[in-house]
Structure 1
Amino acid sequence: MRILAAMLKHETNTFSPVPTDLARFRAWGLYEGEAVPAAYRGTNHPLAAYLDLAEAHGAEIVTPVAAEAMPSGLVQREAYEYLTGLILEELARGGFDCAMLDLHGAMVAEPDWDGEGGLLEAMRRIAPDLPIAVTLDMHGNITERVVENCTVLVGYKTYPHLDMAEMGRRAGTILLDAMAGRCRPVMAYGRLPLLAQTLRMGTADHPMGPLQAMTKDEEARPGILAASVFGGFPMADIPVAGLSAIVVADGDEAAARSSRDRLLAWAWEEREEFVYRHEPIGAAIARAKGINDAPIVLLDHADNVGSGGTSDSMVVIRELIAQNVEDVAVAAVWDPPAVQAMIAAGPGATLTLDLGGRTEMPSIGARPEPLRVTGVVRSVSDGEWIVRGPMYTGTRVTTGPTAVFETAGIRIVVTTHHHEPWDAGIFTNNGIDPRHCRYLLLKSRIHYRAGFAALAKAHITLDGVGVTTSDNAILRFDRLERPIYPLDPDAAWSP
């Protein structure tokens, strides 16, 4: 047996001014050919599960590419065509019995707003009968085009995404069982007019936790091979975005549809719970100051690089300084020139910097506003470490040259590459022990829980400024199919 296995992931924020080119993929991880297994074997990725399945079945596995970039703006045409081209060219050489793909589900590219759908459709043109398994992120904006052009589709059930390899194993196993005649997968897909917000999708919380538990209940029913709910990615002004469900059944289309409808009906009844409720930033900080235990996690969620933020908005840090909040560790501010200035000065040097605020955000009308600070360079590093926490376990990551700057009782990790702080390595690799900080300010939404939930004594969201805002009133949706809740409170749905 010959298996084509590839990874191509990007969560595209169409409001983000951060360009997504090949360099951005290379900064996070772009591997080709034989370099792919060396980079991903043994990690917590669907691709690692595909490698294990191939080995267990004595199959040859061909890996043309594994590429992922931190969330950002539109994937540029050159990058999309190059990366998808590696997969399509390998497929065109022929001789494959199946394909297993590790995709995201929310890629928007310059030539195709449905990036995954475009790739799968192109694969079907080359090999119309090829069995294809796909694993997708829980934040995928799933289209009929994606579903129609694969054999089996399975989504993550956890956020933070701790079950990536597990879901890859499920998708690949169903595909191999189908090829051996042990099952006949059929899929039922449905979508709600519900633009759920990311802050309301944590699977330790209501409503996404109970909804994902329902998918497991559905999978316990006879003949249901896999049930997936996708919260969707709301930072994308594209025709199809929002919450959807896909159920894979063993030859029983009616059972798949019934299972799908139960999931969607429950989500629709809970639609108000998928909307984040705001709190004035001053009140939130005052509430944090009144908590006696530590550490306390503060979330600068409007500037979450893991959803396409610029990671250089200084609004929240400015407010912390104004309110004399001390003993804070921050991860992370993106400012390559500041990093270079600190490297040149060296640890122990006192500097005055115009920190952050380098990126204009025209989609929300925000201009660059750096924060002038005087402080001390505490450390510099190469920004490379291996993730030891439960998400992306075993993956080598890099923030590029990185430095820690301390000002007004706040230690700020400043990076060259964008990075969401979902692993404690962002601190420990830079000389900060997060266990002994009163406050941890993280530019994150939910993924931070993978590395910090067990440590934190409290979690407080701070509504700052950025292109990952949870305030829909700030964003302009021109392409999104309407009506959709909560943009349109009277939006309706029925099974």
Structure 2
Amino acid sequence: MSDEMKKRLAVARLWYEGNSFSPLTTGLEIFEAREWVEGEAALPLYRDTATEMGAVIAFADAHEEWEVTFLRCAAAPPGGPVTDDAFAVIRGDILDGLQRQKWDAVYLSLHGAMITCGNPTPELDLLTDVRSVIGRTPLAVTFDLHANLGQPMIDLVDIAIGYKTYPHVDMDQVAARAVTLVTDMAQGKVKPVGAIAKVPAIFTSFNMRTTDGPMAEVASAAAKWRGEDGVLEATVFGGFAYGDSPFAGPTAMVFADGDRMLAQRAAKALAHDMASRRERFQLKLPSPAEAIAEALRTPGNKPAAITDPADNPLSGGIGDTPTLFRALLDARPDVPCVFAFFWDPDLVTEARRAGIGAKLDVAFGGRVSPAFGKPARISATVLALTEGKFRNVGPFENNLAIDVGQTALFDVEGIKVIVTSSCQTPNDPAYFTLHGIDLAQVGLLCVKAKNHFRAGFTPLTRTIIECDAPGPAAASLQHYKFRYAPDSLAR
């Protein structure tokens, strides 16, 4: 088919989850280090990956009648508010790309819980600008399951879909559906109309897995609605508790084919389903010491894992809180232990300068902020040094190339401690293989992680226990003062 006869699909990505209570901000360099591509450069990064952009490439390969153009694609690990300058650059790149020519359809990969230093709803601004550029060109958007959504955002799009799974192992499937619907709309095959219904609450995501518990039940109800005649898409969003926004809180979103009343009825029903389970979304977690004791009591030959979700980088954690590590030192378990991780670029540099086998006096944690605990000062031996690069082998973002920066592996009183140059969650088994760690030989694995960790490690562990420790994303919202979301929603 000649290029003149092809329809044109523009694709852009701005994926970021912002924690309003983090002491850090996120600049453009963080995006540039994680995902920062445009045009043909997107193909080697995303091809054959279980990601939104991987699904777009698969669509392009299978539909020669569509010419797919990658505009700015940018993503960074969750963290503190994005600087306003960084957001302006990314927004400018996306809008400049859209202005180059006329498009038959547009697809945006967003998160839905982005914040900047000066704006609690920057994605609304981006969507407003995109719509002003493309006019009535069909626009599809995908969102993370933890998006904080408001009606003004949905009013600007023609089709929106969210991840259905947590851990998020369906990113590619969701994007494939969005691209199919927006291209069908461009060809007059469907007329999507959407509706949302909010739950007047803020839920933490500790008990928000779609594999079990209350979110699994609500996700099942959404799946039933997707089976109804006339319903194109139905998604339930848990929201991101630590993203202080006027749109904070759970959302039910439904798109129907030309039937707005059907979309509204389904969204209201799903929001009621979530609201009726409000108490079940709240959990009381054991202390680090209690979690360690429980893990060691649990029988089995596989390692026991303890997660510290309050310092999970994918919730805006800073890789710096020392409470779980101190509890591990105090417990002195008589099994091989691994602690992942501390984020400390200067310590990695010092370890590389000293070399493998060197003994150093180090301070673990409390570097970024003393608000969550003082540093743990101790002697450590350098066991290994790496460049920090690997490809995911687990189901979460499978086959995506990961770069956590240069790393160092230390021995501290028999505990192996990983220290990295960038703040990224150890969510994939390849992270440990990189450091020469055979998980089958580990008795206790302590990680700064949360539910995404379970996707790759549930088959490899005998139990996974969350603990309650101080951090930017703690289980209790009573620690935080909201500026934009009413405090009453979190109480």
Place the TM-score, normalised by the shorter chain, in its bin. over 0.9
| Partners of 1:112 and 1:52 in 2: CA distance | 35
Structure 1 partner of 2:350 = 341
- The residue number in structure 2 matching 1:79 is 86
5+ residue gaps, structure 1, are 488-495
**Are 2:390 and 1:385 equivalent residues in the alignment?**
yes
Does the CA contact (< 8 Å) of 2:394 and 2:428 recur in 1? Answer: yes
C-alpha contact 2:306 2:466 (8 A) present in aligned 1? yes
- In 2, Cα distance between the equivalents of 1:334 and 1:483? 34
Partner of residue 490, structure 1: none
Q: Is the 8 A contact 1:413 1:427 kept in 2?
A: no
CA deviations 1:260-297 (Å, max 9, x no partner) are 12211111111101112133333222222222323101
**Correspondence 1:404-483 to 2 at 5 A:** 404-481=409-486, 483=488
Q: State how far apart, in whole Å, the 1-side matches of 2:378 and 2:320 are.
A: 14
1:292 aligns with 2:299: yes
Which of 145, 149, 169 is residue 162 of structure 1 equivalent to? 169
TM-score, L = length of structure 1: 0.95
Give RMSD over aligned pairs: 1.4
Aligned equivalent of 2:327, options 319, 322, 326: 319
Instruction: Report if aligned partners of 1:358, 1:368 keep a CA contact under 8 Å in 2.
Output: no
Change (3 A) 1:280 1:391: closer
Q: Determine if the alignment matches structure 1 residue 137 to structure 2 residue 144.
A: yes
Map residues 92-103 of structure 1 onto 2, 5 A cutoff. 92-103=99-110
Shift of 1:367: 5.9
2:73: which partner in 1? Answer: 66
Distance in 1 (alpha carbons) for counterparts of 2:367 and 2:412: 19
1:28 aligns to what?
Answer: 34
Whether the aligned pair in 1 keeps the contact of 2:114 and 2:243 (CA below 8 Å) is no
Residue 9 (structure 2) pairs with residue 3 (structure 1):
yes
Q: Which residue of 2 aligns with 1:492?
A: none
Alpha-carbon distance, 1:113 to partner: 1.6
Correspondence 1:357 to 2:366: yes
8 Å CA contact 2:305, 2:447 repeated in 1: yes
Q: Give the secondary structure class of the aligned counterpart of 2:460.
A: coil
Give the distance between the partners of 1:200 and 1:194, measured in 2 at CA.
15
Give the 3-state SS of the residue equivalent to 2:213 in structure 1.
coil
Amino acid at match of 1:166: Q
| Structure 1 residue 355, shift from structure 2 partner | 2.1
- Answer whether contact 2:120 2:244 (CA < 8 A) is retained: no
Counterpart contact for 2:481–2:487, Cα < 8 Å: no
CA contact (8 A) 1:338 1:355 kept: no
Normalising by structure 2, we get a TM-score of 0.95
State percent identity of aligned pairs: 33
| Contact residue 121 and residue 145 of structure 1 kept, 8 A | no
- Please give the per-residue CA displacement for 1:368-398, whole angstroms capped at 9, x wherever unaligned: 6221121221110000011121111121111
Q: Give the SS at the match of 1:139.
A: coil
Which amino acid letter does the alignment assign opposite residue 342 of structure 1? A
| Structure 2: distance between partners of 1:110 and 1:127 | 28
Aligned: 1:401 with 2:406: yes
Partner SS, residue 241 of structure 2: coil
Instruction: Say if 1:482 and 1:357 are closer, same or farther in 2 by CA, change over 3 A.
Output: closer
What's 1:207 paired with?
214
1:245 aligned residue: 252
Runs of 4+ in 1 over 4 A off after TM superposition: none
CA contact (8 A) 1:6 1:47 kept: no
Q: Deviations over 1:375-422 (max 9, x none)?
A: 221110000011121111121111101010111221111100011111
For residues 215 and 429 of structure 1, what CA distance do their matches in structure 2 show? 39
3-state DSSP of counterpart to 1:260 = helix
Give, as a single letter, the amino acid of the residue that structure 2 aligns with 1:410: I
Q: Classify the secondary structure of the residue corresponding to 1:13.
A: coil
Q: Distance in 2 between matches of 1:461 and 1:424?
A: 18
2:345 is matched by which residue type in structure 1? P
Conservation of the 8 A alpha-carbon contact between 2:406 and 2:421: yes
CA–CA distance in structure 2, aligned partners of residues 438 and 126 of structure 1 = 56
Other-structure match for 2:379? 374
Of 45-54 and 74-83, more deviation after overlay is shown by: 45-54
Structure 1 residue 236 and structure 2 residue 243: aligned?
yes
Residue 121 of structure 1: SS of its match in structure 2?
A: helix
Structure 2 distance, partners of 1:4, 1:181, is 18
Query: Partner of 2:3 in structure 1?
Result: none
